[in-house]
Amino acid sequence: MLVKKDQYNVAVAGATGAVGRKMLEILADRDFPVANLKVLASARSAGQTLTFKGNPVTVEELRENSFDGVDIALFSAGANVSRQYAPFAVKSGCIVIDNSSAFRMEPNTPLIVPEVNPDAIDSDPGIIANPNCSTIQMVVALKPIHDKFKIKRVVVSTYQSVSGSGQKAIDELQEQTKNLLDGETAKPDVYPHQIAFNCLPHIDIFMGNGYTKEEMKMVDETRKILGDSSILVSPTAVRVPVFYCHSESVNVETEKPISAKEVKELLAGSDGIRVVDNPENSEYPLACDGADQDEVFVGRIRDDISCENAINFWVVSDNLRKGAALNAVQIAEYLVQRA
């Protein structure tokens, strides 16, 4: 349980990665009440200097005793690291907010999007899981719809930016684009095929049912976050040559009668959502507009002309912010407010 204080000792594990750096930025931007900050990473990154609120902070090697005296630890160092070190953090009395897939589907681990299900955090959570980036932006939009109209089925196709794969993927897209424009060949490394000027219907490994692991995350996590295992979810996850921001085309079928007009009004009044839906003036959510923004952008809201009680919409969100770092910091803010 988090004890009420004016300020809290905070650690960021995986601080040198893209999401870790974004966590530091957001903690500073939102003026989170940090008393002391530890920035942790692997031994090869130890000694590097990062910046927090304009001040230099030295990266320390992540160790089993790194969390002594820490109140809240934000993890974004990958599932293996989380499995190894998060239990030590909890044992030291720290609450862990983990951005990896390590604990998301553990029955006793809350999987949290603050606009959707903060009440799922019990009084002594130990570890709180941050959902997958593509799931987060979708469920922010789905939650008000489910509450009012009861969702039966969701069909979603994602258009996910390369930053979801880390800095090496960002560099690969940049390098391949340059090479191809210069008349040279594009050599894939991070991805199995060329990503520049291409779309890859393949994110993470393929499972026995023909879906990828990324797609099945969306199925399982959506049901857990919304607290309804009856919701049917059929996803297709696609990597696209965009640096930042994930986009999704979502079709929702509901039990109760639903209309685009009602949904537009409903989402416009919902926390964390900005409706951008004026197609007559070519106004709809764009990845280039959503990058570095905190909201989930929703537009192209329209009735499904092929199915009764169904709508379509387009949703865009910054995968490094709301899809990862911001969501984790919002969970920490909730814990502080509740203490």
How confident is the model over 83-101, as a mean pLDDT?
97
CA gap 170, 174 in Å, rounded: 6
Task: Give a yes or no: residue 165 inside a domain.
Answer: yes
Q: In this structure, are 122 and 194 located in the same domain?
A: no
Please state the three-class secondary structure of 305-327 as a single string: CCCCCEEEEEEEECCCHHHHHHH
Q: In this structure, are 292 and 168 located in the same domain?
A: yes
Read off the pLDDT of residues 254-287 as tens digits, 9 standing for 90 and up: 999 999 999 999 999 999 999 999 999 999 999 9
CA gap 49, 219 in Å, rounded: 39
Task: Give a yes or no: residue 3 inside a domain.
Answer: no
Dig out the tokens for 320 from the structure: 């490094």
| Closest C-alpha among 294, 328, 336 to residue 98 | 328
CB contact at 8 A, 85 and 60: no
CA gap 202, 247 in Å, rounded: 15
Dig out the tokens for 197 from the structure: 């000027």
Task: Give a yes or no: residue 1 inside a domain.
Answer: no
Task: Give a yes or no: residue 30 inside a domain.
Answer: yes
Task: Give a yes or no: residue 2 inside a domain.
Answer: no
Would the pLDDT of 1 be above 90?
Answer: no
Is 245 marked active-site? no
Q: Which residues pair with 212 in a beta bridge?
A: 206
Catalytic residue among 94, 146, 245, 246: 246
CB contact at 8 A, 242 and 162: yes
**Residue 126 DSSP label:** S
Amino acid at 168: K
Read off the pLDDT of residues 7-64 as tens digits, 9 standing for 90 and up: 999 999 999 999 999 999 999 999 999 999 999 999 999 999 999 999 999 999 999 9
The pLDDT value recorded for residue 61 is: 97
CATH of the domain at 14: 3.40.50.720
Residues contacting 216, CB < 8 A, separation 6+: 207, 209
Residues contacting 45, CB < 8 A, separation 6+: 16, 59
Q: In this structure, are 204 and 258 located in the same domain?
A: yes
Catalytic residue among 133, 146, 202, 288: 133
The pLDDT value recorded for residue 65 is: 96
CATH of the domain at 197: 3.30.360.10
Q: In this structure, are 102 and 180 located in the same domain?
A: no
CA gap 180, 185 in Å, rounded: 6
**Residue 181 DSSP label:** H
Task: Give a yes or no: residue 75 inside a domain.
Answer: yes
Amino acid at 57: V
Q: In this structure, are 123 and 152 located in the same domain?
A: no
Would the pLDDT of 303 be above 90?
Answer: yes
**Residue 118 DSSP label:** G
Q: What are the DSSP calls for 61-88, one per residue? A: E--TTTTTT-SEEEE-S-HHHHHHHHHH
> Is the Cα dihedral 46, 48, 51, 55 positive or negative?
positive
Read off the pLDDT of residues 143-161 as tens digits, 9 standing for 90 and up: 999 999 999 999 999 999 9
φ, ψ for residue 265, nearest 5 deg: -65, -40
Q: In this structure, are 35 and 85 located in the same domain?
A: yes
Percent of the chain whose pLDDT exceeds 70:
100
Read off the pLDDT of residues 180-224 as tens digits, 9 standing for 90 and up: 999 999 999 999 999 999 999 999 999 999 999 999 999 999 999
Would the pLDDT of 123 be above 90?
Answer: no
Q: Which helix (H) or strand (E) holds 95?
A: strand 95-98
Read off the pLDDT of residues 235-248 as tens digits, 9 standing for 90 and up: 999 999 999 999 99
Domain around 287: 135-319
CB contact at 8 A, 273 and 141: yes
Residues contacting 333, CB < 8 A, separation 6+: 30, 32, 114
Task: Give a yes or no: residue 230 inside a domain.
Answer: yes
Q: In this structure, are 109 and 248 located in the same domain?
A: no
Q: In this structure, are 152 and 230 located in the same domain?
A: yes
The pLDDT value recorded for residue 176 is: 98
Q: In this structure, are 143 and 106 located in the same domain?
A: no
Task: Give a yes or no: residue 213 inside a domain.
Answer: yes
Dig out the tokens for 83 from the structure: 């499995």
Residues contacting 57, CB < 8 A, separation 6+: 24, 37, 39, 49, 50, 51
Amino acid at 114: P
Is 202 marked active-site? no
The pLDDT value recorded for residue 124 is: 85
Kind of pairing, strands 8-13 and 72-75?
parallel
CA gap 13, 98 in Å, rounded: 9
Quick one: angle between helices 213-226 and 133-149, nearest 10?
A: 40
Q: In this structure, are 228 and 305 located in the same domain?
A: yes
Domain count, the chain: 2
Q: In this structure, are 20 and 36 located in the same domain?
A: yes
Neighbours of 276 (CB within 10 A): 18
Instruction: Write down the pTM of the prediction.
Output: 0.95
Q: In this structure, are 295 and 248 located in the same domain?
A: yes
